[in-house]
Structure 1
Amino acid sequence: MTGSKKAAAAEAVKSDSDSRTELVRGAQRLLAQRPPSGITGKQIAKEAGIHYGLIYHYFESKDALFKEAMQQLTDEYIAHRDATVDRSIPLPRLPFEGHELWWRAAANFSADGGASYTSLGWTYPVMNHELDQILAHHPELSEFEAKAHIVREVCTNFGWMFFKETLARGMELSEEQMKELGHFISER
Structure 2
Amino acid sequence: MNRGAGWVTEVRHTADLSAPTRRAVRELLAAAYGEDFSDDDWDHALGGLHTLAWLGGRLIGHAALVQRTLLVGDAPRRVGYLEAMAVHPAWQRRGVGRTLLRQVNAQVTRAYDFGALSTSDEGLGLYQAGGWRVWRGPLRVMTPAGVRETPEEGGGVLVYAPAGTLDAAQEEGAPLTCEFRRGDVW
Greater helix percent: which structure?
A: 1
User: Which one has the largest radius of gyration?
Assistant: 1
TM-score, length of structure 1 as denominator length:
0.30
Greater strand percent: which structure?
A: 2
TM-score, length of structure 2 as denominator length:
0.31
